[in-house]
Amino acid sequence: MGLLNRVGVEERLAAEELGTTSECLCHEPWESYYILRRGILPCCHGSKPIAPMEDFERAWNAPALQEIRKHLARGRLSPYCLESTGCPIVQRHLHAQRTRERWLPDRVRTLGKLNRLLGGKPARLYYRLVRALS
């Protein structure tokens, strides 16, 4: 156990038992709801209303809100969220994306270069494998 502890396995198991290993991107659409003069918003950073103010009873489970929840439950930001650029979570996501795009080489171009350097062998192997599997 001592060795396990040293490599952090115990902590990892404890975190799994406590359920703290995975973190939903945002809880707001499950826990918050905004009935505002400009309409119903799923969170205070929502870009546009999903329903008029008067529809507050029905809009809690409206298709637009279900769509947002569906994306977040799968660990993604919904198109609605991505349009809500005032949201700090979205801002951070967009910033990370921009940083990635700036520093990471284009995947297709890099693989093409690598293939040429190795005389085209990786591509031939890949297609042979695909044919065999199909």
Select 17 or 105, whichever has its Cβ closest to other proteins. Answer: 17
Separation of alpha carbons 4 and 2, rounded Å: 5
Query: Taken in order 6, 11, 16, 22, is the CA torsion positive or negative?
Result: negative
Structure tokens at 40: 């119903």
Separation of alpha carbons 111 and 113, rounded Å: 5
- Contact segment (CB under 8 A) with other proteins among 70-78, 102-110, 117-125, 126-134 equals 70-78
- Touching other proteins, residues 96-125 (CB under 8 A): none
Length of the chain: 134
Separation of alpha carbons 121 and 44, rounded Å: 54
String of contacts with other proteins for each residue 19-48, x by CB under 8 A: xx---x-xxx-xxxxxxxxxx-x-xxx---
Q: Which residues bind other proteins (CB under 8 A)?
A: 5, 10-11, 13-15, 17-20, 24, 26-28, 30-39, 41, 43-45, 49, 53, 56-57, 60-61, 66-67, 69-70, 73-74, 85-86, 88-89, 91-92, 95
